[in-house]
Structure 1
Amino acid sequence: MTEKATRPIRSDETLLAILEALEAQTAPSVSDVATHAGVSKSTAHNHLSTLREHGYVVDGERGYELSLRFLELGESARTNTEIYEVARPHADELSRETGLLVNISVEDRGKGVYLYRTRGDDRIRLSTRAAKSTSYIAPPLERRFSRTCRSVGSNRFSTNTAFRSGLKTR
C-alpha cells in the first residue's frame, strides 16, 4: 500500500486533487474543478493556469482537459519497467501463435496495471488497455487462459510462458 507522507505539502495535494478532478470529469469548468478538488475558484484557476503553461492541461472550448503530455510520462514509466521490455516479445509471439489476446500486467500498490496488450482473434474478451488498473485477479485468468490454450490445441504455451525469463507470477 501507499506510504503516508510524514509532512505532506499542501500545494502538491491541491494540485493532485485538481488533476484527479480533470481525470474524473469531461471538460470541467474552473468552478467544477474547484468544487471537486475542494478549493476556491481562484486557487483552481491558478493551478490550471500553471498546468496549462507547462503543457499538462488544455483549455478547450468546453472546458479544461488533461493534455497528451501525460501520455509521454506514462510511456516513459512503462518503458522503464523491466518486465515490459522482457515480456513484450513473448506476448507478441504467444498472441501470434495462439490467436489470443495477451496482456502484460504488473502489481502496483495492490492493483494490477496493464502495461501492454496484443490481440489475436479475441477468443477471450477482456476490457483491458495500457495503464488501466484493476483488482489483481491473475489466478482465475490464468486458469481461463490454460483452458483456452487447450481448446485451440496449443500445448506450447502455458500460464508461465511470459515468465520464462525468470519473472514470477506472484
Structure 2
Amino acid sequence: MATTGGPETIRDTSLTGLMDRIEVILDAVTIEGPLTLTEIVVLTEMPKTTVHRLLVQMVRYRWLTRIGNNYELGVRLFELGTEARQGHWFHRLVRPHLEELRARTRLLVHLAFLDGESVIWWERLGDVPPGHVPTVVGSRTAAHLTASGKVLLSVEDDAFLDRTFGEHLQVSTARTCRTRNELAVQVRAARNSGLAFDHGENVHDVGCIAAPIVVRQQLSSTGRRIAVSVSVCGPLDRIQKDRQLQRDVFTCVTGVQRDLSRNPVATDY
C-alpha cells in the first residue's frame, strides 16, 4: 500500500499531505485489523518516524486505540460512524418507511448509496429465509451485481458510467452483465421505468427490486446529486412474479419523497 504523500525530503507539512497520510494509516488498519508500528510502516511505505508521530496523535484523538504493541480502530470512529448512520436526519426520516415496507412484504429491505463502482449498505431490515444475503451495514458490493447499484447508476448521466467502469466489468457471473455496454442497457431501462432488478445475480435464487430517491437536488462536493436506493430482496420466483412488490417499493419511495418535501433540511425541494 503506497503512501499518497510526497517524498519525506519535501517535508510536506500541508494539511492535505497530513490528511493523506492519516487516510493511508486508517486504510491499513481497517483492511488488515490490529497492526504493530513496524507492520504499519511496511504497509504504508512511510518513514518510521513519520508513522510513529502520527500514531501518537491518532491515539490522542481516539481515532486509534493502542493495545500492547498493536493499533486498532478507536472509539471515536465508532462514535462518528454510528452518528453518521443512525443520527443522520435522512436516516431518521426514512427509517419508519423502511419498517413499513418490511412489514408489508416480509422481505429483506435495504437502504444504499453509491460510491464509485460499489454500493454501500446504509440500512438492512429483516432477512430472506431460507437463503442468505451477505450484506452488512457499512459494507460494499459491486454496483452492477445489485438492483440498488443499477438504479443508483440510472440517476447519473451516461458519462459517469463511462468514467467509472472499464469496458469489461471485473466481477461477473453467468447471470450478470459482463461489459459496460451490457450494464448501460440495464441502467437505461431503470432510468425509464424507475425500477431496477437483480435476478439472482448477486446471490443464487435471490432476487431484488430497487427504486431511487434523490435526497437533495443540489450538487454535492463530488459534483453529483445525493441519491439513495430502497430495495426489497427475496426468493427469486416471488420477486419475478409478485407485481405487488413493485407497487410496495413505489409506495415506500412516494412516502419518503412526501416527507422530504416537508423537511426544512431538504431546502431545495
- TM-score class, shorter: 0.7 to 0.9
Give the alignment partner of residue 52 of structure 2, picking from 40, 45, 58.
45
Shift in alpha-carbon separation, 1:110–1:151, aligned structure 2, 3 A: closer
Shift in alpha-carbon separation, 1:125–1:87, aligned structure 2, 3 A: farther
Query: How many residues are matched?
Result: 160
Percent of counterpart pairs with the same letter? 19
Query: Is the contact between residue 199 and residue 236 of structure 2 (CA under 8 Å) also seen in structure 1?
Result: no
Query: Is the contact between residue 18 and residue 33 of structure 1 (CA under 8 Å) also seen in structure 2?
Result: yes
Q: CA deviation at 1:30?
A: 0.2
Unaligned runs of 5+ in 1: 1-6
Shift in alpha-carbon separation, 1:71–1:161, aligned structure 2, 3 A: farther
Q: CA deviation at 1:64?
A: 0.7
Query: Is the contact between residue 111 and residue 123 of structure 2 (CA under 8 Å) also seen in structure 1?
Result: yes
Give the alignment partner of residue 157 of structure 1, picking from 245, 254, 258.
245
Query: Is the contact between residue 34 and residue 41 of structure 1 (CA under 8 Å) also seen in structure 2?
Result: yes
Shift in alpha-carbon separation, 1:63–1:161, aligned structure 2, 3 A: farther
SS at structure 1 position matched to 2:245: coil
Query: Is the contact between residue 117 and residue 130 of structure 1 (CA under 8 Å) also seen in structure 2?
Result: yes
Shift in alpha-carbon separation, 1:26–1:62, aligned structure 2, 3 A: farther
Give the alignment partner of residue 141 of structure 1, picking from 187, 198, 201.
198
CA-based RMSD of the aligned residues comes to: 3.0
SS at structure 2 position matched to 1:69: helix
Task: Tell me the amino acid that sits aligned with residue 141 of structure 1.
Answer: D
Task: Tell me the amino acid that sits aligned with residue 145 of structure 1.
Answer: C
Give the alignment partner of residue 122 of structure 2, picking from 115, 118, 122.
115
Unaligned runs of 5+ in 2: 1-13, 148-195, 201-206, 210-233, 259-269
- TM-score, length of structure 1 as denominator length: 0.77
SS at structure 2 position matched to 1:93: helix
User: 2: distance between equivalents of 1:85 and 1:132?
Assistant: 20
1:105 alignment partner in structure 2: 112
1:4 alignment partner in structure 2: none
User: 1: distance between equivalents of 2:236 and 2:44?
Assistant: 47
User: 1: distance between equivalents of 2:79 and 2:27?
Assistant: 18
Task: Tell me the amino acid that sits aligned with residue 140 of structure 1.
Answer: F
**How does 1:1-170 map onto structure 2 within 5 Å?**
9-61=16-68, 63-78=70-85, 79-80=87-88, 82=90, 84-120=91-127, 122-136=129-143, 137-138=146-147, 139-141=196-198, 144-145=207-208, 148=235, 151=238, 156-158=244-246, 159-164=249-254, 165-166=256-257
Please list the CA deviations of residues 102-141 of structure 1 after superposition, one character each: whole Å capped at 9, or x if unmatched.
1111123443111111114535521111111222232333
Shift in alpha-carbon separation, 1:23–1:31, aligned structure 2, 3 A: same
